[in-house]
Amino acid sequence: MEREPTRIREGYLVKKGSMFNTWKPMWVVLLEDGIEFYKRKADSSPKGMIPLKGSSINSLCQDFGRRMFVFKLTAAKQQDHFFQAAYLEERDAWVRDIKKAIRCIDGGQRFARKSTRKSIRLPETINLSALYISMKDPEKGIKELKLEKDKRVYNHCFTGTCVIDWLVSSNSVRNRREGLLLASSLLSEGYLQPAGDTSKAAAEGLSDTPFLDLSDAYYYFPDSGFFCEGYSSDDDVVLKEEFRGTIVKQGCLLKQGHRRKNWKVRKFVLRDDPAYLHYYDPAGGEEPLGAIHLRGCVVTAVEDMPDTKKYDVDNILFEIITANETHYYMQAASSTERSEWIKAIQTVARTGK
C-alpha cells in the first residue's frame, strides 16, 4: 500500500488561468511530489495538479506589472503556472517550501521541516492541564501585562520570552530549547493563544517553530479576558475591541464601483463575527451601503489599474476576490495602511465566521 504524500503547506492563492488572462482564488495544496489546486477548500477533487519533478520556481516574477507577490512555477514540460500571494512573507514561505520540495525530489529524500525536537525529549510526567493552572497562578504564575506594538495596545497578555523564562525558572523544563518545545505543545493544545501578527504568523507555519521565544511575540490565556485596542485612521481615537468581538479595523478608503467604474470615498468597518467588510457613506448614516463577505476570500496588493489615472496610486491599491469570484478594488492612503488592511482582512477571512 503506497504512502499518501504529506501536505507541506496549503492555503488560498490567486492563480492565473492557463488559457486566458484571468486570475481566480484557488485552494492550493503543496505535496511532497506536486501542487494540487481546488476551486474551494471543501472540494474533494482538485481542478488540477502540477508535478514538481523537473520543475523550477522563480519568486521575482515581473510578467504582470500590476500584480505584486507573484511567483512562477515552470513545470518539466516548460509550462508556466503563476500564483499570487497576499503579501511578501506569504509568497516567500510558499517559494521556500516549493524549492525545498523540488530539492528533496532531485536528491531522493523525504521533505522534513526543521524541528526543535532533535534529541530533546520532554519528561513523560508533564501534565499540560496542571501546568496551565500553575501558569495562571495569580502570585507565582506568568504576569499578564498591557503591551503596545504597531499602534495597538494588547491587554492581559505576555511575551513569548516571558513564557520560556517562567518554564525554566519553575523547573518545568531543563533549558530554553526544551521550553520552546513545551510552549509549542501548549499552543497546539489551545492552552495559549497568539496575539498580534508576529505570533499568529508563526502559529500558522510561517516560521521554523510555531511558538516564538521573542519579546515582540505576544500570547494570552484563552479565558483571560484578553482584548486589543487600536488607533483608528479616521479620527485618531482609540477603539476598544473584544478579541472575539465585532470591529477589527475601520477607516476611509477609495472604492471602485462595479458598474460605472468610478471611485468614491467610503468608510469601511471590518468585522470578524461574522466575517464582513461593511462600507458606509462617510458623511453619515447608520445603515451600510453594502457589505463584502470575507469568508474564503483572497486579498492581494495591486500596483496600478487603467481606471485610476487621476489618482496617485503608487503602492496603495489592493484587491479582494470573494469566494464567489467577485472582484473589489480599494485604494488606501499609504502603502503602510494598505499592508495593515490586507493583513487584517486576511486574518478575518481565515478565522471569522
Domain that holds residue 143: 128-229
Whole-angstrom distance, CA of residue 155 vs CA of residue 137 = 18
| φ/ψ (deg, to 5) at 148 | -120, 140
Residue 117 lies in a domain: no
Residue 200 lies in a domain: yes
Retrieve residue 332's grid coordinates. 488606501
pTM higher than 0.85: no
Q: How many structural domains is the chain composed of? A: 3
Residue 119 lies in a domain: no
The CATH number for 315's domain is 2.30.29.30
User: What's residue 62's pLDDT?
Assistant: 63
Residue 256 lies in a domain: yes
The CATH number for 203's domain is 1.10.10.10
Query: Closest Cα partner for 102 from 7, 50, 48, 34?
Result: 34
Last residue of a domain, one of 182, 208, 229: 229
71 DSSP β-pair partners: 83
- One domain, residues 102 and 182: no
Query: Closest Cα partner for 41 from 24, 50, 28?
Result: 28
Last residue of a domain, one of 72, 107, 142: 107
What band does 5 get if pLDDT is binned at 50, 70 and 90?
low
Whole-angstrom distance, CA of residue 340 vs CA of residue 222 = 25
Q: Which residue has the higher pLDDT, 170 or 90?
A: 170
Residue 202 lies in a domain: yes
- One domain, residues 245 and 283: yes
- One domain, residues 132 and 168: yes
User: What's residue 89's pLDDT?
Assistant: 73
User: What's residue 18's pLDDT?
Assistant: 74
- One domain, residues 218 and 312: no
Residue 1 lies in a domain: no
Last residue of a domain, one of 194, 229, 264: 229
- The edge-to-edge listing of strands for the beta sheet with 247-256 is 290-293, 275-280, 263-272, 247-256, 327-331, 317-321, 298-302
On the question of pLDDT at 27 being above 60, the answer is yes
- One domain, residues 143 and 224: yes
- One domain, residues 246 and 347: yes
Cβ-based neighbours of 119, under 8 Å, separated by 6 or more: none
Query: Averaged over 254-282, what is the pLDDT?
Result: 81
Query: Averaged over 41-64, what is the pLDDT?
Result: 84
70 in Cβ contact with 86 (< 8 Å): no
Residue 223 lies in a domain: yes
